[in-house]
Amino acid sequence: MNTGNLIESLGKFLDVKVSTKCDNDEAMKEIQEGVQILAKSPAKVCNLIQRKILKTEHLKLVVLDEVDDLFGRGYKESIEYILKVIPKAQVVLTSATIPPEILEFTRSLNKDFITIRELNQDLTLDGIKQFYIALDKEDWKFDALIELLNNIGNNDMI
């Protein structure tokens, strides 16, 4: 499953507006109406911001995929611009391989930077635990997800 498909699935599960495409009129209309999660290249995000199509006040999460390729093509300035223009959104950089210089750059951007690495390519589903959390208000979903993600790995989650 690629990052875009994963983000779309999470969006459906969490019932939040997600955009992973901008290749047709329908996708552009969704972006213009306001999305909470956006997954695109830095160049596309910058373009959407500069053309005033993307409403940044709605954004909670911006996912920039294949960051190792992006840096090879000089996207460092675009990422810095995105972080400056969308300061309240969490920005996620994903990649199968991240060279040390990219890790150093990302750490310099944010003191709360975290790294999540998949150490074993042959992971199985045997160790996965599922949880259901009932929430009284729809608005609490995103905050609940963030709280869960912040606590992953803590002993009280087991």
Inform me whether the pLDDT recorded for 67 exceeds 80: no
Closest CA to 3 of 11, 71, 13: 11
CA 102, 71, 86, 137 torsion-angle sign: negative
In the predicted model, what is the mean pLDDT of residues 7-13?
Answer: 83
- Report pLDDT for 115: 67
Cβ atoms of 55 and 86 within 8 Å: the answer is no
Of 65, 87, 89, 90, nearest to 75 by C-alpha is: 65
Burial class (CB in 10 A: 0-12, 13-18, 19+), 147: exposed
Q: What is the pLDDT of residue 158?
A: 44
52: left (phi over 0), alpha (psi -120 to 50) or beta: left
Among the residue ranges 110-114, 124-128, 143-147, the one predicted with the least confidence is 124-128
Q: In this structure, which amino acid lies at residue 83?
A: L
pLDDT at 124 over 60: no
pLDDT-based confidence at residue 118 (cuts at 50, 70, 90): low
What percentage of the chain reaches a pLDDT higher than 70? 77
pLDDT, average across residues 6-11? 83
pLDDT above 70 (res 116): no
Query: 122-135 burial, b if ≥16 CB within 10 A, otherwise e?
Result: eeeeeeeeeeeeee
Tell me: pLDDT of 128 over 60: yes
Q: Which domains are assigned to the chain?
A: 3-120 (3.40.50.300)
155, pLDDT greater than 60: no
